Structure 1
Amino acid sequence: MTLAYDYPVPGVFWTTMWIFLWILWFVLLFRIIGDVFRDDSLGGGAKTGWLVFVILLPFLGVFVYVVARGKETGTRERQHAQARQQAFDEHIRETARGGGAESASEAEQLAKLSEIRSKGDITEDEFRLAREKILH
C-alpha cells in the first residue's frame, strides 16, 4: 500500500531553502544589473565588462561585484532615493502653490490670450469665452 505523501519533511525544508536562495540570487542579479546601468562613474566599457561578467559567469560575477562594489552600491541607492524624494517634494510644493502650467497669474494668462487674439488665431467670441474661464 502506497501513501499519497511520500516526501519527507527534511526534503521539503531543503527544497524550500534552495528555491528561496535561487529567488534571492535572481533578485540580487537584477539589482546589480540596475546598479551597473545607474552608476554614472562607470564608463561604457566598464559597464559592458561587468554585464558580460555577470551574464557569462553569473554566480561568480554576482559575488565578485558584491565584494568589489558592494559599498558604493548602497551609497548610490541612497542618493537615488534622495533624488526621487526631492523631486517628489518639489512636485508637491509646485502643486500646492498651483504650480506648473497653472502658475501663471491671471494677468499673464490674459496677456497671452490677448496676444493670440491679436494674431488672429482665435475669434472675438473664443477670446471672450476663454477670458471668462480665466476670471472665474
Structure 2
Amino acid sequence: MNASTYLAYDYPLLGAFWTILFITLATMWFILLFRVVADIFRDHTTGGPEKTLWLLCVLCLPFFGVFVYVLARGGAMGEREARRNAALHRAAAASAAHEGGPATSGDLDELARLADLKAHGDISEAEYAHAKEKILH
C-alpha cells in the first residue's frame, strides 16, 4: 500500500459517536443553563440582591454556579414550574370562559348529564335546548 491510499478511515465510527455525544451533552447543558437563569428571574421568593448573586455566580462560573444552584434550589424548581403552569392554565381557562371560548370540563360534564336526562325522557327537547344554551353562553 502506498501513502496516498485511503481505506475510508478518515473519520472513524467512534469519532462520529463522540461528536454526537458531545453535541447532545452541550445542548443539554445550554438547556439547563437557560432554565436556571429563567428560574432565578421567575422566583418571587427571593429578593433582588440574592437574585443578583445567583446570576453572577451562574454567569461568571457557569458549571460551578449551575451545579450549586441545582443542589441548593433544584428541588423547588419543579414546584415553581408546576405552579406557574397551573396559573397559566387557570388564566387561559378563565379567559376562554370570559370570551365565550371552548367549554371547560365542568361544562362538558354538565352537558353530558343533560344529554342523559334527555335520553331517559326526564326533560323535554325544549328544556334541554334552554339548559344547553344557558351552559354554553
TM-score, with structure 2 as normaliser? 0.68
Equivalence for 2:59: 55
Match of 2:71 among 60, 67, 71: 67
Aligned positions of 1:15-54 closer than 5 A: 15-54=19-58
Structure (1 or 2) with the greater helix fraction = 1
Equivalence for 1:83: 87
The letter for the 2-side match of 1:93 is A
Superposition deviation, residue 96 in structure 1: 1.1
TM-score, with structure 1 as normaliser? 0.68
Which digits, 9 at most, give the CA deviation of each residue in 1:12-65, with x for residues without a partner? 111110111011000000000000000001110000000000001001111111
Which digits, 9 at most, give the CA deviation of each residue in 1:69-117, with x for residues without a partner? 01110000000000000000000100118xxxxxxxxxxxxxxxxxxxx
Equivalenced residue count is 97
Q: In angstroms, what is the RMSD of aligned CA positions?
A: 1.3
**Structure 1: gaps spanning 5 or more residues:** 98-136
Percent identity (aligned): 47
**Structure 2: gaps spanning 5 or more residues:** 102-137
